[in-house]
Structures are given as C-alpha cells and as structure tokens.
Chains A and B, each alone.
Chain A
Amino acid sequence: MTIENYTQLSAAAIASGVRAGELTPHDLISSSFKRGAEIGAGPEELNIILYSDEKASRAEAEETATHLKSAEDVGILAGVPIAIKDNIASFGLPTTCGSKILRGYVSPFEATAITRLRANGALVIAKTNMDEFAMGSSTENSAYGPTRNPVDVRCVPGGSSGGSAAAVAAGITPIALGSETGGSVRQPAAFCGVVGVKPTYGRVSRYGLVAFASSLDQIGVLGRTVDDAALGLECIAGFDPLDSTSSDADVPIYRLAALGKPAPEARNPDTEAIRIGRSPVPLPPPPSQNTLEGVVIGKPREYFPDSLDGSVRDLCERALDRMRWMGATVRDISLPRSPLAIPVYYILAPAEASSNLARFDGVRYGLRVDPGKGLRPMYEATRSEGFGPEVTRRILLGTYVLSAGYYDAYYKKAQAVRTLIADDFRAVFTGGVDAIFTPTTPTTAFPIGAISDPYEMYLNDIFTVTANLAGVPAMSVPIGRVRRLPVGGQIITAHFDEYKMFRVAYALEAALGAEAHQ
C-alpha cells in the first residue's frame, strides 16, 4: 500500500491493517497531514482545519505504535486519524466553537466521545471549522472565515459541521465528529457527498459538547462510507454517568447491519466508563448479500413537495427504485406537521441557546473586553465583540420568546407543537414502516455568499430538523450528483433503531455503488 491509497481506505480497513502490522500509526498521520497540505486545508485556502499540531500527532502515533507492540486489544479504531468539530472539548487543541469569544481557549477536560475514540486507539488530529456556536447551515458564520467545499471550492460545504464534512470529503480522515441540533451533520454530509449520522437523542453523551440547544444537541458522525460512520458510532455511543440525558439502551454492533440481518439479540451493556470496543467485525461483504426483503420504506409526501428541485427528486426516485430492487416495499405516508418544524425549531433552539450562551461573560475564561466603566459595560462589550451577528440575532430571538408576556405564545406553544411533530413519527413507525426516506436537503451546495437572508438560510434545514425535534435517528447517504454537486438521501428510523437505519443505508450504498458519486 502506498500513502496515496490510505486516503481511500475505510476506517475498518485501516484499523485492521494497523493491528496486522501492515500499516503504522505514523503512516496514517503522514498520509493525513500530506493530504491536508495537498488539498489546502489551512486558513489561506479551503479553511477546513482550524487547529492541528503535526508534531503532537506524530508523538501520539509513536505512543500508539508502542502500545500496539505490547497490548492485546488496541481498540477497533487503532491508528485511525479523526477530525473533530471545534465545539467538542478536546485536550491539547483549542476548542473555540468557531467564535471569537473563545479564541485561544483550551479545555482542561475532554468530551466523553473523544475519550472513547482514544480508548479505541484513534488519533485525534485536528479541530475543524464550523458556524459559530453551531448556528448556521453553511459554515459562513465562523469568526475564522468560511470553509470551501472540496467538491467545488466556490461553494459552501454546508453547516454547521462544514469543516468536518469537508475533512472527510477531502480524504484527510475517514471519520470526523460533528454535531447536530437542526441537521448540522446531515446537511453538510449531503453537500459534500459523504455519510452523516445523527443518532437518537441521548444515544451519545453530550458531556464535552458545547451546548447550543440542550434538548436537541447530539454529537454525530461523518464518514467516507456507511461502514466508517457505523464504526465511529459504535465507539462513542452508550450511557455516560456525566450526562444526565444519556440513555442506557444497549448499543448493538452496528456494522453487523451490513450483513442484512435483523437486529442481533440484546447484549449486556458495557457499564465501564470507557467502552473499549467489541470484537472486530470483518469488512462488509459484497453487495449480493445485502437485501431489504420485508423492509417497508415510507415516502412522506411533505418532503417531496411540488416545488422540489427536479434533479434532486429524480435522484431520490432512483434511490427508492434501488431499494425496491433489493426487496423493499415503498409506501406513501404523511408526516403532516412537518411544515411547522422550522418555526418550532427557530423558537426552541434560540431559546435554549440564549441561556446556554450566558456563561460567555468574560469572567472566568475566554475573551474579556473591559471599557473601564464597570461590570455591565464589560459584559456588553465582551459579548457584542465576541459574538457574530447570527449568534447575536439568535440570542435576542431566544431571549424574546422566553421573556415575560411572550413565553406562552411562543415558547410554550412551540413545545406543544414539537410533541405533535414527534407524534407524527411515532404513528408512522408503529404503523408498520421500518424506515423513512427523504431528500436530505432541498438543493445542492450553493455558492459562498449566495444567501444573505437569515430565514432563507434556515430553510436549508427544512427536511432535517424534524428528526432533531422528534429525537429520532437519521442519516444522509450520497445518492448521486447534479452538475457534479453531491445530493444526499435521508434515512430516518424510530428511537434507538440505528441498527435498522444502517441496514437500509448499507444496502442503498451497495446498490448505488459508484453512481452515488456521479
């Protein structure tokens, strides 16, 4: 194998090779950084990566290599380089959430998700660019400049996890962590032509994820292939005593879904604070074994409006045809309250954000701007200089909808409608539908600077945000290209049914083959 080939390998193949001694962690680090330089990942060019430290990464690689020689089980991500969205607390590299208010801030603790990746042998090599505090759908709201889509550098990579999606699309790492509140992993995955997974709310610990909207936030996984995303999720999912909202539901071996079988029987949950991976699963078998016999796919009419772009619709129909070809039944369904999702989301998320971002006050860490006039002027100067316009707008919106006199009409109302949206999904899944299929986004990636109206930007989330509101798992897989720009198809299943979601995704990916990227 040559260094060039490494950027095409799946994470499972890399880990396999490292454990077998065919690859070294050093090789992988070199390959990633070389690829980053080639593609122009730095601030002067595509601006994918905000922070990295090649020297430190090499040192870690050496440590991993030493550990490999002596240890029995080095984890299912042995030597795999991983990029992390800048709003996930990590040791060593700064955590700045794409914001000026946290410029230079290095977290003294690390997110549980990262702890678990490292415990499985992964190498965290970079923090990626994002919309400031995860508020945006294009990564144009970063205080550190926009990220360019590696597929077409005139275009946005999507957001808010644009940097992570771009890192995977560019071949810098096979897996990256992002975060979701309203589609921020799936939408950039669709725009960049990679796989993006939002787990069930509570599936992955939020400890260390800088909060935007606590009842919606989840760490998500981006991967070059479905297998990469499944492997990443296996490592990070599971109960965390440090996160009171995390679930103790069993974590299946998601990669077994590639074999096309129904979910394996429940296994004993690992109660250790750090899950040291399961026994390695062989690489996914060739396509002929994948089958969707007996699987019912729901096609919700609200996500295929008449106004939907014709090319996007065609690609979705092709994907559905492939699923039928693999034995699935496609059923027309309705999720009637879906059109209310954007108003609901843009009341609830900013409301929680206005509270979550109050801690950025210049007192204990981060930026402080002190005009010398006392406490309140310090607060105001720090926050007005530290936050960008979209963040400011959402904090104000959130403060408004929570304030006395408006709480009932806006916040309380939105909470109630949120329940109705969740009910729509429940009704569909208990009505015999296994998975829902929709376009991930209404359009392909748009040019940088093309959208300036805030609400128009919010509409990018129109197909993704319902899954966040309902808490159900959802993922985007590449299903083709329109004028060379990637299009994503979205698969949604019931709470904690990621296994079934992966089963459909593996099958679709195999059925489309190279056409998914053409």
Chain B
Amino acid sequence: MSVTRDDVLHIAELARLGVDAHRADELVKELSAILSHMEVLSQVDTASVATTAGVGAGGTPLRPDVGVAPLMRETLASMAPAMRDGFFLVPRLATHEDSSESGA
C-alpha cells in the first residue's frame, strides 16, 4: 500500500508539520518505501492474540490526593517564548475560530 500526496499533506496537517510541495513529493516516496517493508505483517496470523498493553504486569499505581507542587512561576517566565501577567501568549487563531475548537 503506498502513500499518496494527499495522504502526506493530510497527516502533515494533523501533525502540525509544515511540509512544502517539494518535500511532500519526496516524502511520498520515502514513506511509501518504508511502508512497503511493513506489508509482511499482514500475512502473520494474529487471530489468537489478545491485545497487549505493554510488557508490565499489575494495575497502574495510585497516589494519594495530596501534594505540594513546586512553585514554577519564576521558572515559567524564563522558559516561555511569550508570557504576560502570568499567562502564556500564543498568536490568535488565523480564522477567528472559537474556543470550542478544543475537543474537551
């Protein structure tokens, strides 16, 4: 199964990677070549396999509902590309999309 140019542009958008037209064409070849090696897996019989959630055993550990978080305000300011009055700043959405774009 090979990757199309539309595929590459679509996944680049999903991954927020700016991929220009020229690079997209190169990537079509590169990704298709890599994926061609994966075809062998489709021939493996996995009908009897229950899906595995990693190699550990036992449930996730739980922590008590207490904690003192390190105070990060000063450090945040030194790390952040843009901050004002304690808020992180990012450029506005280009098409004035609404806050409900978030999936939560």
A and B touching (Cβ–Cβ under 8 A)? yes
A residues in contact with B86, CB < 8 Å: none
Within 8 A of A (CB), among B1-50: 1, 3, 7-8, 10-12, 14-19, 27, 30-31, 33-35, 37-38, 40-42, 44, 46, 49-50
Closest chain A residue to B11, Cβ basis: A399
B79 adjacent to A396 (CB under 8 Å): no
B20 CB to nearest chain A CB (Å): 9
With A201-B55, A368-B81, A403-B11 known as contacts, the answer to whether A363 contacts B94 (CB < 8 A) is no
Tell me if A418 counts as interface (CB < 8 A to partner B). yes
Question: In the complex, what's the smallest C-beta–C-beta distance from A486 to chain B, in angstroms?
Answer: 29
Q: Are A416 and B46 in contact (CB under 8 A)?
A: yes
CB <8 Å contact, B16 and A363: no
Which chain B residues border A245 with CB–CB below 8 Å?
A: 54, 56
CA distance in complex: A387, B23 (Å): 14
A455 touches B17 (CB 8 A): no
Q: Chain A nearest CB: distance from B93 CB in Å?
A: 5
A346 in contact with B55 given A381-B18, A399-B14 (CB within 8 Å): no
Residues on A with beta carbons closer than 8 Å to the beta carbon of B37: 342-343, 346, 455
| Cβ-neighbour of B94 out of A346, A375, A383 (below 8 A) | A375
B44 and A340 contact, CB distance less than 8 A: yes
Q: Are A379 and B16 in contact (CB under 8 A)?
A: yes
* A455, B72: Cα distance in complex, Å: 43
Cβ A370 vs Cβ B91 within 8 A? yes
CB neighbours of A340 from chain B (8 A): 40-41, 44
Residues of chain A in range 340-387 having any CB-CB distance to chain B below 8 Å: 340, 342-344, 346-347, 354, 358, 361-368, 370, 372-381, 383-384, 387
List residues of A (207-236) whose CB comes within 8 Å of B's CBs.
215
| Mask of B61-104 contacts with A, CB within 8 angstroms, 1/0 | 10100000010100110011110000010111111000000000
**Known contacts A376-B94, A417-B44, A419-B52; A384/B31 CB under 8 A:** no
Say whether chain A's binding surface is mostly helix, strand, loop, or mixed: helix
Q: Which of A363, A415, A416, A422 contacts B90 (CB 8 A)?
A: A363
Residues of B within 8 A of A8 (CB): none
Interface size on B, residues (CB 8 A): 51
Kindly state the separation between the CA atoms of A400 and B2 in the bound complex, as whole angstroms: 11
Contact A374 B49, CB 8 Å, known A396-B12, A420-B44: no
Selected from B50, B51, B88, B93, the residue in CB contact (under 8 A) with A364 is: B88
Q: List, in ascending order, chain B residues with CB within 8 A of A215's CB.
A: 54-55
Interface assignment of A81: CB less than 8 Å from any CB of chain B: no
Which residues in A have their C-beta under 8 angstroms from that of B33? 454-455
Q: From residue B98, how far is it (CB to closest CB) to chain A in Å?
A: 13
The answer to whether B41 touches A374 (Cβ under 8 A) is no
Shortest beta-carbon distance from A242 to chain B in Å: 9
A393 with B91: CB separation less than 8 A: no
Once bound together, how far apart are the Cα atoms of A241 and B12, in whole Å? 36
Are B61 and A241 interface neighbours, CB within 8 A? Answer: yes
A471, CB-defined interface residue at 8 Å: yes
A195 to B11, CA, bound (A): 40
Which of B11, B16, B17, B30 makes the CB contact (< 8 A) with A454?
B30
Residue in A365, A387, A410, A454 whose beta carbon sits within 8 Å of that of B79 in the complex = A365
When the two chains form their complex, are residues B56 and A373 in contact, meaning their CB atoms are under 8 A apart?
A: no
Q: A244-B61, A364-B80, A374-B91 are in contact. Are A108 and B11 (CB under 8 A)?
A: no
Is A247 an interface residue, CB under 8 A from the partner?
yes
A119 CB contacts on chain B under 8 angstroms: none
Q: In the complex the two chains form, is B44's CB within 8 Å of A383's CB? A: no
Note all chain A residues with C-beta closer than 8 A to B19.
384, 392, 396
Complex: A38 Cα to B55 Cα, angstroms: 44
Contact of A343 among B40, B52, B88 (CB under 8 A): B40
Give me the interface of B with A, judged by CB distance under 8 Å: 1, 3, 7-8, 10-12, 14-19, 27, 30-31, 33-35, 37-38, 40-42, 44, 46, 49-52, 54-56, 60-61, 63, 70, 72, 75-76, 79-82, 88, 90-95
10 contacts across the A-B interface (CB closer than 8 A):
A201-B55, A201-B56, A343-B37, A376-B94, A393-B30, A397-B35, A399-B11, A403-B10, A409-B1, A416-B49
Q: Which residues of A are at the interface with B, using a C-beta cutoff of 8 A?
A: 105, 108-109, 201-202, 215, 241, 244-245, 247, 337, 340, 342-344, 346-347, 354, 358, 361-368, 370, 372-381, 383-384, 387, 392-393, 395-397, 399-400, 403, 409-410, 412-420, 422, 454-455, 470-471, 495
Top 5 closest pairs, chain A to chain B, by CB = A374-B94, A471-B55, A380-B18, A416-B46, A368-B81
